[in-house]
Structure formats: structure tokens, C-alpha cells
Amino acid sequence: MAPEQTWNPQRLNGLAHGYWSSFALHAAVELGLTERLAQGPAPAPELARDLGVDPRALEMLLVALCGLELVVEKEGSYALEPSARQFFTPGSPRDMSGVILHLADLVPDWAQLAQGVRQGKAVAGKWSQQRRQRFYRAMRDLARQQAPGLAARLGLAPGQHLLDLGGGPGVYGFTFADEVPGLEVTVFDLAQSRPSFEEEARLHPQAHRVRRRDGDYNQDSLGGPYQVVWISQVLHGEDPDTCRLILNKAAAALEPGGTLWVQEFLVEPGGHPFPALFSLNMLLLTRGGQGYRAEELARFLAEAGLSDIEHLGPTQEGGPASLMRARKP
């Protein structure tokens, strides 16, 4: 059992100014500093010339990043801490730059959290094209870290046809097809995510077994029948009634004996802190989205006519995302 933590001024102050560290990281990525440092160490004046920024201000940022142990300084040159380099190298499967830029885009919305709670509705305005592109890139990069090896845990098998519902760039679908010979995949999502899907397809040897179906799951047919439906990080963006609609349509698209998988940030009091904070993110960004508890999703799945409903715990040990499974009788 973890020792009980006691609140004190130091701990409270650390929580209150925690965004300072976040903003330093956001700036480092936005300026291209982390990408430049991933290429190798350099003194501050050289980095300032390369990036076209003020030398004095850049050195202040570098020193702050050293304090955060993201950057190290040796003999007048600055470098990324070696274990961090993979997360800022373009093209690396573990590149986190897109995720960080998406989180930076959320700052104006989170600055209005008190107003969002007061009104009980979203505060975010219309997204720019750049912000939407950053969002898709972030979702792609997160999926690239979650997807490898997951097909085996899901029990996917040759000859099955899987629907990746709301799959965006299709990372899960492509990865599943690469890992399971003979698996056929259909990725269903809005047409605006097709460019990201086509870009991702070029990276996967079995992309020819992954089809694209553009549509709106609120209005359009999902096709089928499928032996497996995979719904990853979709439901939190919707209100309970829309979640029921999605799951009812997914269940109808399954053949008898088929399996429906849901990956979500499940809110559990006293559990991982991220899902509850992410639920606030949905308050700020969507009309009715939120984080759901496992028992709520289980009820929605049962109402859709599914059975053998199980909460299987975290997708990755210690991670914030969880898996739920249900079967169609």
C-alpha cells in the first residue's frame, strides 16, 4: 500500500505551477528545438542561429529544460537526455512531437475550465486546419505506440473481417493486418481523415488488406457483417445517447458469435488520474462527451444485445487506456 500523502504548501504550489513545465516543453517542440537537438548536441548560440530565435532567451529555455532533466549540458553544448531522443526524432515510431503540439493547442481551452464547469458546456471555438492536422497526427502517434502486439491479445485470427470504427488514420487496422496473416480490415471514419489514412498506408506491407469506408457513424451504414468490431477512443467524444446509438449499430454489424472490443479511458475513483482529467478535456471540447466508468459502458453494451461483457483492465500495464470485450449471441 502506498504511503498516505499529506498536503502541504510545497506540494500545493507544485501542483499550481505545474503548467510552467508543460509550457517549457510545448515551446521547445513548437520552436523546433527538440527536433534540432535530436540531430546532435550544439552550443546555445549555434542553436539560436539554426532556429532563428533570440540567443539569450533560448539559453534560458535550455537551462529550464536541463532542470526538467529533458536536456543535458556538457562543456558548453546542449543535448537531449539520451533516453528522450527517440521521442523527438521525426519518423521514429515513438515520436511524441505531434502529441505535444496537440496538447499545446488545448491550452486556451483549459484556461477556461472554470467557465466550462460553470456553464456545463464546451468552450472551444472552431478548429483551424493546422489544429485539425495536429490532432490527427497526435492520434496517429499515440496509436502507433499502443497497436503493436495488441492483435494477439485480442485473439484476432486469419480469415476474420474486422471493422475499425472511427479509426481515423487506420493505425490499428493496418497494424492488425500486418500481424495477422489473412485478416481483412475495414476502417470507417469521416472523409476528412482519409489523407492521414493514405499517408499511413504507405508504411504497412499488408495495407492492401485494409479497405477504407468514408462515412458518419451517426447517419451511415457500417456495412458488414464483421466477425470483430474495434472501437478505440471514440465513445468519450459522445454523449450517452450517442454512445448507445454507436454500440447498437456496431452490434447490428456483427455476425452472431462475433466480438466487439472497446478501448477507452475509463474513469475509476482512486484509479489512474488521467481518465478523470481527460473527461474534463471532453467537457471543454465537445457537446456532451465525457469519460465513462466501466459499469456504464457495460450497461450500454448489454442494452445493445451483447453478452459475456468483461472489463479486461489496462491495454498496457500502468497505462490509462482500458479494454472491454463483449460478444454477440
SS (H, E, C) 38-95: HCCCEEHHHHHHHHCCCHHHHHHHHHHHHHCCCEEEECCEEEECHHHHHHCCCCCCCC
Peptide bond between residue 240 and the one before it cis (omega within 30 degrees of 0)? no
What does the alpha-carbon distance between residue 202 and residue 104 come to, in Å, rounded to a whole number? Answer: 28
Q: Tens of pLDDT along 46-72?
A: 999 999 999 999 999 999 999 999 999
Domain 9-88, CATH among 1.25.40.20, 1.10.10.10, 3.40.50.720, 1.10.760.10: 1.10.10.10
Backbone dihedral angles phi then psi of residue 311, each to the nearest 5 degrees: -100, 115
Burial class of residue 248, CB neighbours in 10 A (0-12, 13-18, 19+): middle
CATH topology identical between 9-88 and 129-327: no
Superfamily of domain 129-327: Vaccinia Virus protein VP39 (3.40.50.150)
230 forms beta bridges with 164, 261
pLDDT at 164: 98
Q: What share of the chain is helix, strand, coil (3-state, %, to 5)?
A: 50, 20, 35
The contacts found for 111-120 with CB under 8 angstroms, 24 or more apart, are: 112/284, 113/280, 113/284, 116/280, 116/283, 116/284, 117/283, 120/283
pLDDT per residue over 296-307, tens digit each? 999 999 999 999
The per-residue DSSP string of 100-141 comes to: HHHHHHTHHHHTTHHHHHHHTS----PPPHHHHHHHHHHHHH
Mapping DSSP to helix (H, G, I), strand (E, B) and coil, where does residue 96 land? coil
- Report the side by side order of strands in the sheet with 42-43: 42-43, 77-80, 71-74
pLDDT over 80 at 5, yes or no? no
CA atoms within 13 A on the CB side of 22: 16
pTM for this entry: 0.90
Digit-coded pLDDT (tens) for 232-283: 999 999 999 999 999 999 999 999 999 999 999 999 988 889 999 999 999 9
Structural contact between residues 185 and 177, judged by C-beta atoms closer than 8 angstroms: yes
C-alpha cell at 14: 507544485
**In the chain, what are the domain boundaries?**
9-88, 129-327
DSSP 238: S
Please, which pLDDT band fits residue 1 given cuts at 50, 70 and 90? Answer: very low
Q: Looking at residue 3, what is its pLDDT?
A: 54
pLDDT bracket for residue 136 (50, 70, 90): confident
What is the rounded CA–CA span in Å between residue 266 and residue 290?
10
